[in-house]
Amino acid sequence: MSPSQIVIEFIRHIEVPDLDQAIALLAPHVEYDNVPIGKVHGPDAVRAILQPFCAGFDEIDWVIHHQVSNEHQAGDASSGAIVMNERTDRFRSGERWIELPVCGVFRVNDDGLIELWRDYFDDATLRSQLSPS
């Protein structure tokens, strides 16, 4: 699989959700950064965030609008391929959908493992839907 395909596969596993399969695509030293909230390191820490969050919803649907990468650029000095995507992360609870516009940055190493996952979004947009007034 190309770096771009690995990122798509990772997201598809989260949608099931099949966290064992998703976590298996992470490097041992993976950095997971929710930019406005903070970052954690390591697959166990990623699971500790994703598991309760995913368990709180009846359906997960992350729509990828665009995804681009530098995997075809030769001579890039950086380690690993950068994959970036523009998404709408959707979560259903009963009849209600939460929708969060997200821009994600991933770095996939030469072993095909994700060593960076950094999501940009507006925290208030998420919180206002998690706790509607």
Q: With CB under 8 A as the rule, give the number of residues binding a copy of itself.
A: 24
Is residue 129 involved in binding a copy of itself (CB under 8 A)?
A: no
**Please, which residue, 50 or 84, has the CB nearer to a copy of itself?**
84
Q: How far apart are CB 102 and a copy of itself at their closest, in Å?
A: 7
Cβ distance 106 to 91 under 8 Å? no
Is residue 112 involved in binding a copy of itself (CB under 8 A)?
A: no
Options 20, 28, 38, 66; binder of a copy of itself; rule CB under 8 A? 66
Contacts of 32 (CB under 8 A, 6+ apart): 39, 40, 41, 45, 46, 49, 117, 118
Is residue 103 involved in binding a copy of itself (CB under 8 A)?
A: yes
Q: In Å, how far from its chain's centre is CA 74?
A: 26
**Please, which residue, 17 or 104, has the CB nearer to a copy of itself?**
104
Is residue 5 involved in binding a copy of itself (CB under 8 A)?
A: no
Closest CA to 46 of 115, 131, 121: 115
Q: Are strands 96-108 and 114-120 parallel, antiparallel or unpaired?
A: antiparallel
Options 84, 92, 99, 115; binder of a copy of itself; rule CB under 8 A? 84
- Contact residues: a copy of itself, CB under 8 A: 35-36, 66, 68-70, 72-73, 82-84, 86, 101-105, 118, 120-125
